[in-house]
Every structure is written in structure tokens, then in C-alpha cells.
């Protein structure tokens, strides 16, 4: 196995992504896995905080794919599928994926992915793929009331180490296919709660409404508005999406501003 050829385990760090990035800058080979029990400054996309009390899984993987800098979006989006597969394998819970990086159960967030790339010119020097999962954390420890934990859904604790092992195995298979440009996107499509539905996307003070048609090769989400205009969402750090169900909203809610 490539992933986990070296493990760094810590009780508490600011962010496992910080630790992996610092080692990446020192020339650490790919495959490094950083795991912490708690993070004091865990972060998500759009500058959000990622609550990281003990009981969660906080892991970052250092990778050195020979890809261009814009591969970060594709990696962010598509890596949700192997993470969800690991959750399903270990718990039997089948998550839904919300573009670009959310892992949900029953519409509530249980996990997220933050991929940070360090580039040299147009090429990636390395990426840090950070995964945060609310596993056995207490609900009070989570900032967001709309979040939940795997143990709350399951009604029992989940063995975090078993989940980590499964996660790394699924991520490794994903990474191998990504490098060969052979990612099977069917897994993603089957678990997506966005594709085929009407969504409202906010980017700064702009709001777009449309039906989510497909993912393009870069991981961008392509929408078609009611008027038939085609939009492409491709900014991980500026776009937030709200799902509005197709059946209820076609021709009704979507016309509201």
C-alpha cells in the first residue's frame, strides 16, 4: 500500500492538513498519512471552521500526482466517493454526496473533504487531501446544528481504526485510477444527491438556479437554468449549494428570488 507507508499520529494538532503540508514542503514522499484525535484549528472550505472534538476522524494524506494545478477540484469532488464507500463498508450506512465536498447522511453533514494543492508553476508539487468525519463525537461538540455523527445515525459507536483502514484502501484505489485517468464516476453519480435535481448555487452575492446535469472532466458541476442557459460551477471556495427537489420545484420555487 502506498497510503500509510508512513503514519504521523498526534493527540492534538492545529490541523492535520497543516502538518502534512509542512512535511510536504520538506520533501516528504507521497503516501504519508497524518491522523489526530483532535484539531484546535480544523478548517473546511470557504474559510469555515471544522469542529474537531475527540471522537471524530481527522486525517490528511500527502500525494504527489503528476497533474496540473486545476486537478484539485476534480480530486475534491471525486474523492468523496471512496470516502463514502468506506463509510458504507464499515457501518452499512450509505451516504449521499453533495457537490463539491460534502458527505451527508439523511441530508445532514457527517463529513467533508478539503484538498489543498501546492503548485510549482502550472503543475502540482503535492496535494494534501484532508478528510474530516463526525464518527463518535457528541452532538454538542459539533458547531453546526445541521451536522450529525455516524454513531448517532447507527445508534452505536463506530470503530474508528477500522474506518480509517477501509478509508485508506478505498482512497488508494481511487488514487491509482485518478493517475491513470480511469476514475469510474458511476459510484459518484449513484451517491450524488445533486445530479438530476434542481439546485440553488450562491457565489458571493450572485445566485444561480438550475438543474444539475453532470460533472465535467475537471469536476465542475454543469447546471441548466429554466431558461435553458448552461452554467458551470467550478469554484470550491466560493460556491455553496442548496438542494431544491426537482418534483416540487420545477416551475414553482425556482422562480422565486
Positions touching ligand BTN (CB under 6 A) are 15-17, 39, 42-45, 48, 50, 58, 60, 101, 112-114, 130-132
In the complex with ligand BTN, the residue whose CB is nearer, 42 or 95, is 42
Please compute Rg for the chain using Cα positions. 18
Q: Which residue is nearest to ligand BTN (CB)?
A: 112
Report the nearest approach of ligand BTN to the CB of residue 132 (Å): 3
**Shortest separation between residue 123's beta carbon and ligand BTN, angstroms:** 23
Cβ atoms of 250 and 198 closer than 8 Å? yes
Strand, helix or coil at 176?
helix
The number of helix segments (H) and strand segments (E) in the chain equals 7, 12
Taking alpha carbons only, the member of 118, 90, 84 closest to residue 103 is 84
Cβ distance to ligand BTN smaller for residue 51 or 177: 51
Closest distance between ligand BTN and the C-beta of residue 179, in Å?
Answer: 22
Instruction: Transcribe 74-128 into DSSP letters.
Output: HHHHHTHHHHHHHHHHHH----EEETTTEEEETTEEEEEEEEEEEEETTEEEEEE
Complex with ligand BTN: residue 46 or 230, whichever CB lies closer? 46
> By the 8 A CB rule, do 163 and 90 touch?
yes
CB of 43 to ligand BTN, least distance (A): 4
Q: Is the peptide bond before 36 cis (omega within 30 degrees of 0)?
A: no
Minimum distance of ligand BTN from residue 227's CB (angstroms):
31
Establish how many alpha carbons lie within 13 A of residue 137's alpha carbon, considering only the half-sphere containing its beta carbon. Answer: 26
Comparison of 40 and 176: residue with beta carbon closer to ligand BTN: 40
We find the least distance from the C-beta atom of residue 125 to ligand BTN, in angstroms, to be: 19
Residues in Cβ contact with 204 at an 8 Å cutoff, skipping those fewer than 6 apart: 238
Least spacing, CB of residue 214 vs ligand BTN, in Å: 23
Cβ nearer to ligand BTN, comparing 48 with 224: 48
| CB nearer to ligand BTN: pick between 63 and 254 | 63
Measured between alpha carbons, how far is 70 from 121 in angstroms, rounded to an integer?
Answer: 12
- Gap between the Cα atoms of 51 and 39, Å rounded: 8
Q: Looking at beta carbons only, is 148 or 249 nearer to ligand BTN?
A: 148
Amino acid at each position: 500500500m502506498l497510503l500509510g507507508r508512513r503514519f504521523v499520529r498526534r493527540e492534538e494538532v492545529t490541523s492535520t492538513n497543516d502538518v502534512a503540508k509542512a512535511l510536504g514542503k520538506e520533501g516528504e514522499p507521497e503516501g504519508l498519512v497524518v491522523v489526530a484525535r483532535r484539531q484546535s484549528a480544523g478548517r473546511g472550505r470557504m474559510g469555515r471552521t471544522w469542529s474537531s472534538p475527540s471522537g471524530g476522524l481527522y486525517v490528511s494524506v500527502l500525494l504527489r500526482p503528476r497533474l496540473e494545478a486545476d486537478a484539485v477540484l476534480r480530486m475534491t469532488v471525486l474523492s468523496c466517493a471512496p470516502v463514502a464507500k468506506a463509510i458504507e463498508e464499515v457501518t452499512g450506512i450509505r451516504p449521499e454526496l453533495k457537490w463539491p465536498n460534502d458527505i451527508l447522511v439523511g441530508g445532514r453533514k457527517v463529513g467533508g473533504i478539503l484538498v489543498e494543492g501546492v503548485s510549482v508553476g502550472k503543475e502540482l508539487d503535492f496535494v494534501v487531501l484532508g478528510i474530516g468525519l463526525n464518527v463518535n463525537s457528541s452532538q454538542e461538540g459539533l458547531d453546526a446544528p445541521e451536522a450529525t455523527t455516524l454513531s448517532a445515525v447507527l445508534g452505536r459507536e463506530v470503530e474508528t481504526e477500522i474506518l480509517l483502514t477501509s478509508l485508506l484502501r478505498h482512497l488508494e484505489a481511487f488514487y491509482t485510477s485518478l493517475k491513470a485517468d480511469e476514475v469510474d464516476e458511476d459510484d459518484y453519480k449513484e451517491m450524488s444527491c445533486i445530479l438530476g435535481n434542481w439546485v440553488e448555487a450562491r457565489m458571493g452575492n450572485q445566485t444561480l438556479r438550475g438543474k444539475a446535469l453532470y460533472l465535467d472532466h475537471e469536476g465542475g458541476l454543469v447546471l441548466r437554468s429554466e431558461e435553458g442557459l448552461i452554467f458551470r460551477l467550478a469554484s470550491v471556495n466560493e460556491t455553496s449549494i442548496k438542494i431544491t427537489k426537482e418534483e416540487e420545484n420545477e416551475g414553482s420555487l425556482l422562480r422565486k428570488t
